[in-house]
Amino acid sequence: MAQLVRVQNFTVSCDGIAAGEDQTFEQPFGHAEPERLFSWAGATASWPNRTDPGGTRGLDDYFTRDYARGIGAEIMGRNKFGPQRGPWENEEWRGWWGDEPPFHTPVFVLTHHKRPSFTLSDTTFHFVDGDPATVLARAREAARGKDVRIGGGATTVRQFLDADLVDTLHVAVSPVRLGHGVRLWDSPDELLDRFHLEVVPSPSGMTHHLFWRK
Amino acid sequence: MAQLVRVQNFTVSCDGIAAGEDQTFEQPFGHAEPERLFSWAGATASWPNRTDPGGTRGLDDYFTRDYARGIGAEIMGRNKFGPQRGPWENEEWRGWWGDEPPFHTPVFVLTHHKRPSFTLSDTTFHFVDGDPATVLARAREAARGKDVRIGGGATTVRQFLDADLVDTLHVAVSPVRLGHGVRLWDSPDELLDRFHLEVVPSPSGMTHHLFWRK
């Protein structure tokens, strides 16, 4: 089996925006209320953060349960890890996810500013500087033959797309319109020169976009 | 995680027929040419019997790769195992699948006629007589906490549905019309009293029906 580089369950508004502006500790997605964008995933039976049994087992559930299948490492942008900018003032911030992050693999956080690795439960965060191909080489090795997930945000996904390093891309497009913020694309058609695309409407109102390399 | 009883990737014609009549060694699906019903699965990247790289990674691929996820045992009807009827005349027949069956778990073959278990690679076939609930209890134990797949044919799926033992059901409906044969249903609406249903058209022409228990 080839080792793939995958974007999974990346959610954007119908106008292509993945996160709002003015990210803070209280608002990881800035002005974009994440519950409006991500409620499709939280409704499914396989959503990892469920606290109650139940949940839907229709189409959207196939996507939430595919999120971790065969993944051996994740690469994320610094703004997915936290709202800080510039040099790390201290090392107290350990991500948004508490003591049990939902990754369960090595995670490579892109940053120009050095910081030691640390481990929370079965997730180890590494802080790495470098171009996408160099960071991907490290993540591939850490994944030990499994796939590498590009975890976002939009800027990071774009960097890896622009470097032509992505094999498959699943983007869940919400009916919500955000107007402004951090943009993934103007239109999914931008990727059609390099990718096959299937567009699959879900009964939940989401429209799943499934890309794979030509 | 609850241990589920799942029907996966069960394919029928648009008129609800899963296999033809007159099953023989040469024609496991009788007059229904399986390549017409199953070509959707064979076109995907995750199809286990692929001999070449490539294949689609769109919607249908989510279904082919979900087939084995979390499955710890399969129950199948005798006619899925082979074309024989009545007492086993000998034990030479070991299924349609060669030395490497695609199950990789214990498999329970429903039959009124005794036959010793045997193992091929990482699949062990057991031959069991009993009502669906009794056989399911054995399969659940063999699955060691993982899910149990009801593997078909249509008669076996109907038995487990009629005994209300199925938790989730994925049926891929082909645009092909067969007219006569072994029928799963007259209409998927028959199950709506007990199941939620999402109907998801695929760009391949298949229509995926996703049922989960109310």
A24 or B81: whose pLDDT is higher?
Answer: B81
Confidence of residue B175 (pLDDT cuts 50, 70, 90): very high
Interface residue B65 vs chain A (CB under 8 A): yes
Q: CA A181, CA B173: separation in Å to the nearest integer? A: 41
Give B94's pLDDT tier (boundaries 50, 70, 90): very high
Q: Answer whether B57 sits within 8 Å of A168, measured CB to CB.
A: yes
Residues in chain B closer than 8 A to A69 (CB atoms): 65, 69
Long-range contacts of range B59-62, CB-CB < 8 Å, 24 or more positions apart?
B59/A198, B59/A200, B59/A208, B59/A210, B59/B200, B59/B202, B59/B203, B59/B204, B59/B208, B60/B202, B60/B204, B60/B206, B62/A62, B62/A63, B62/A66
CA A162 to chain B, closest CA, distance in angstroms equals 21
List strand residue ranges (DSSP E) for chain B, in order. 5-12, 17-19, 71-77, 106-110, 118-120, 123-128, 147-152, 168-173, 182-183, 195-201, 207-213
Are A59 and B203 within 8 A, CB to CB? no
Of A57, A63, A168, the CB nearest to B210: A57
Strand partners, A197: A211
User: Cβ contact (<8 Å) for B58 and A2?
Assistant: no
Please check whether residue A15 is in contact with residue A179, taking contact to mean a CB–CB distance below 8 angstroms.
Answer: yes
B101 versus B53: the higher-pLDDT residue is B101
* Residue A148: inside a domain: yes
**B93 occurs within a structural domain:** no
- What pLDDT is stored for residue B53 in this prediction? 82
Instruction: Give the CATH number for residue B44.
Output: 3.40.430.10
Kindly state the DSSP code that residue B112 receives in the 8-state scheme: S
Query: What tens digit of pLDDT does each residue of A90-128 get?
Result: 899 999 999 999 999 999 999 999 999 999 999 999 999
Inspect the interface and report whether the beta carbons of A57 and B203 lie closer than 8 Å: no
Comparing alpha-carbon positions, the chain B residue that sits nearest to A66 is B62
Question: What mean pLDDT do residues B172-190 have?
Answer: 94
Angle B82-B84-B86 from CA coordinates, rounded to 5°: 135
Q: How far is A198 from chain B (nearest CA, A)?
A: 6
Select from A149, A85, A139 the least CA-distant residue to A108: A139
B92 falls within a domain: no
Percent of chain A with pLDDT over 90: 81
Q: B204: distance to nearest CA of chain A, Å?
A: 10
Check whether A59 has a pLDDT greater than 90: yes
Structural domain contains residue A41: yes
Please say if the pLDDT value at position B139 is more than 70: yes
Q: How far is A161 from chain B (nearest CA, A)?
A: 17
Please give the model's pTM, rounded to 2 decimal places: 0.92
Give the pLDDT confidence score for residue B114 in this predicted structure: 94
Task: Provide mean pLDDT across the span A57-70.
Answer: 96
Q: Does B123 score more than 70 pLDDT?
A: yes
For residue B80, what pLDDT is reported?
Answer: 93
Probe site for chain A from B52, B200, B207 (most A CB atoms < 10 A): B200
* pLDDT above 80 (res B33): no
Amino acid letter, A1 = M
Counted across chains A and B, CB pairs separated by less than 8 A come out at 54
Number of domains comprising chain A: 1
Tokens of A173: 């497009």
Rounded to a whole number of angstroms, the distance between the first and last alpha carbons of chain A is: 17
Give me the mean pLDDT over the B105-129 stretch.
97
**Contact criterion met (CB < 8 Å) for B198 and A198:** no
The CA R_g of chain B, rounded to the nearest whole Å, is 17
pLDDT at A37 over 90: no
CA distance linking residue B100 with residue B28, whole number of Å? 18
pLDDT tens-place string over residues A151-195: 999 999 999 999 999 999 999 999 999 888 899 999 999 999 999
pLDDT of A36 reads 79
Question: Of A196, A203, A208, which is closest to B198 when you measure between CB atoms?
Answer: A203
Which of B56, B58, B210 is closest, CB to CB, to A59? Answer: B210
Q: What single string gives the DSSP state of each residue in A193-214?
A: TTEEEEEEE-TTS-EEEEEEE-
The answer to whether A59 contacts chain B (CB < 8 Å) is yes
Q: Comparing A146-155, B27-36, B53-62, which segment has the lowest mean pLDDT? A: B27-36
| Residue A55 lies inside a defined structural domain of this protein | yes
Question: What is the share, in percent, of chain A residues with pLDDT greater than 70?
Answer: 99
B196 touches chain A (CB under 8 A): yes
pLDDT at B1 over 70: no
Tokens of A131: 């171009």
The tens digit of pLDDT for each residue in B197-209 reads: 999 999 999 999 9
B204 to chain A: nearest residue by CA? A198
Of B36, B34, B42, which is closest to residue B67 (Cα–Cα)? B42
Please tell me the predicted confidence (pLDDT) of residue A40.
Answer: 94
Sheet order of strands, A106-110 included:
A118-120, A123-128, A106-110, A71-77, A147-152, A5-12, A168-173, A207-213, A195-201
Query: Do A65 and B69 make contact, defined as CB atoms within 8 angstroms?
Result: yes
- pLDDT, tens only, A68-84: 999 999 999 999 999 98
- pLDDT at residue A114, rounded to an integer: 94
> Which residue of B53, B57, B202 is in closest CB contact with A212?
B57
pLDDT-derived band at A14, boundaries 50, 70, 90: very high
Q: What is the pLDDT of residue A1?
A: 64
Q: What are phi and psi of B168, to 5 degrees?
A: -135, 150
- Is B91 within a domain? no
Record: contact B210-A66, CB cut-off 8 A: no
Using CA atoms, how far apart are residues A214 and A194, in angstroms rounded to an integer?
A: 6
B120 in a domain, yes or no? yes
Shortest CA distance from B198: residue in chain A:
A58
Which residue segment(s) compose the domain that A75 sits in? 5-85+99-213
Q: Nearest-CA distance from A62 to chain B in Å?
A: 7
pLDDT of residue A106: 98
Q: Position of tokens 């149990």?
A: B148
Shortest CA distance from A209: residue in chain B: B58
Determine how many CB atoms are found less than 10 A away from the CB of residue A45: 20
Give a yes or no: residue A61 inside a domain. Answer: yes
Average pLDDT, chain A: 93
